[in-house]
Chain A
Amino acid sequence: MCLAIPVKVIRLKEGSMATVDAGGVQTDISVALVSDVTVGEYVIVHVGFALSRLDPDEAEKTLKILAQGGIDGLPA
């Protein structure tokens, strides 16, 4: 139920809507819950609404920890 996926914002539209790219599929979602969304950002989308931004720097940090099996450093 709470499943949500990362999508890339490709166009902002009227009425707090945005066109996003979800793995090659373009669809329109509402960005009413996240202020000042900009084109190129990644947001997490759930039941047609962006819930939050995805922070690319934090994602990179986590991926680095994962790649070395979680031996050094953990998310803070």
Chain B
Amino acid sequence: MAYLHEFRDRKSAQALLSTIRNESRPDRDYRLMEFCGGHTHAIWRYGLREALPDNIRFIHGPGCPVCVLPISRIDMARTIASFPGVLLASYGDTLRVPASGGRSLLHSKAGGADVRMVLSTLDCLRLARENPGKTVVFFAIGFETTTPPTAVAILEAKRQGIPNFRVFSNHVLTPAALRSLLLDTTPEKQVRIDGFIGPSHVSSIIGTLPYEPIVREFSKPLVIAGFEPLDVLLAVLMLIRQINDGRAELENEYTRVVTPSGNPEARALVDRVFTLRESFEWRGLGLIPNSALAIRPAFRDFDAEDLFSVSCPSVSDPRVCECPDILRGIKTPEECRVFGTVCTPENPVGSCMVSSEGACAAAYTYGVRRTPDLEVRP
């Protein structure tokens, strides 16, 4: 595919790796957090961790919407799905995340609830038109990338007069999470990060400008990068140069898509429909102020939270699951006791094993797995 395969070229990768080997200092290590699950996936899938010198470490960040969705919100979605006359639709991975009692929305579906997988919010509008007797609830998750399509669906439902379409909004904001990671000074939650690989497609919407104050305030280099392996390698080189020079600047590797101002039209549509929530719970990061979006009162006819007024208490993660620490970069997937044994992509215990861009699922699928110690008795 044009503009995709060129950014996976082996020869260019070898040239970049050679430059990185020459320019990285052997007397120090470089701890780089890739914020997005898309980058985590690319790093594992293309073996970048093994290809790079050992002193360049990737610390996987919380930028995977399925992974950071707290159990209570999935419990709420399961409650909504259980009401008679409701058809609940969401993007694929969301349906597989285990909530309270290890039950996911797929369990709801197996139990008779009408739960559907959709690829686009346009599918939800079609479902609403085709099922006039049902209330079609879109369980909306995602960062700034995924929010504009939800806003368009709500505006279209209003314009076309589709009365049976509702959105259960769980849209969250990237800069707020980045700031929260850097602000937390609890000693046991401290993890040294020398620089950030910044979001690709989130930045196509928000642009580069929202990262400026964070880079300045915390003096951390941040390089916005595309999701292809050569994009990641070039961003690593740019970060190493900044760190070697003692600079902490905002740079953009993904200039073919990301501009300083992003997509103001998309943001204007989001602003029309959504408003900031005072606070929202993130798995692993806890309550973060001004980090998520709710539907404005003017569009309450399309707000599932307004119609159903469900609330579910905050629920702790299963005790054996290390997802909260993995999402903060404190632990690696391999450091979790149940990784690859009890917890697998087919039978996930925690959210990081569900989405293909979750750190655990990526490590399980593409990494070298330890085999459980089996005691062989004669």
Docked-complex contact B152 and A32, CB < 8 angstroms: yes
Q: Taking the complex as formed, is B317 at the interface, i.e. its CB lies under 8 A from any CB of chain A? A: no
**Chain B residue with minimal CB distance to A5?**
B4
A-B contact pairs, 28 of them (CB 8 A): A1-B38, A1-B91, A2-B38, A2-B142, A2-B143, A4-B200, A4-B201, A5-B1, A6-B2, A8-B2, A23-B1, A30-B120, A32-B152, A46-B201, A47-B149, A48-B121, A48-B149, A51-B263, A52-B258, A52-B262, A52-B263, A55-B257, A59-B6, A63-B12, A66-B12, A67-B11, A70-B15, A71-B19
Q: Taking the complex as formed, is B352 at the interface, i.e. its CB lies under 8 A from any CB of chain A? A: no
The total of interchain contacts (Cβ-Cβ below 8 angstroms) comes to 161
| In the complex, per-residue mask of B202-243: 1 if CB is within 8 Å of any chain A CB, else 0 | 101100000000000000000000010010011001100100
Docked-complex contact A51 and B145, CB < 8 angstroms: yes
CA distance A59 to B152 in the complex (A): 29
**Chain A residue with minimal CB distance to B5?**
A23
Docked-complex contact A67 and B148, CB < 8 angstroms: no
User: Residues of A within 8 Å of B, CB-based: how many?
Assistant: 41
What 19 additional pairs, Cβ within 8 angstroms, besides A2-B65, A70-B15?
A: A1-B65, A1-B142, A5-B4, A6-B1, A23-B4, A46-B146, A46-B149, A48-B119, A48-B121, A49-B149, A52-B258, A59-B256, A62-B256, A63-B12, A66-B9, A66-B12, A67-B12, A70-B233, A70-B238
CA distance A55 to B255 in the complex (A): 8
Question: Which of B233, B255, B265 is A35 in contact with, Cβ under 8 Å?
Answer: B265
| In the complex, per-residue mask of B326-348: 1 if CB is within 8 Å of any chain A CB, else 0 | 00000000000000000000000
A47 to chain B, nearest CB (A): 5
**A55 / chain B contacts, CB cutoff of 8 Å:** 255-257
Docked-complex contact B36 and A2, CB < 8 angstroms: yes
**Chain A residue with minimal CB distance to B13?**
A66
**Chain A residue with minimal CB distance to B358?**
A1
Docked-complex contact A54 and B202, CB < 8 angstroms: no
Whether A54 contacts B200 in the complex (CB less than 8 A), given A1-B142, A48-B119, A66-B7, comes out as no
Q: Taking the complex as formed, is B199 at the interface, i.e. its CB lies under 8 A from any CB of chain A? A: yes
Chain B residues 1-34 with CB under 8 Å of chain A are 1-4, 6-7, 9, 11-12, 15-16, 18-19
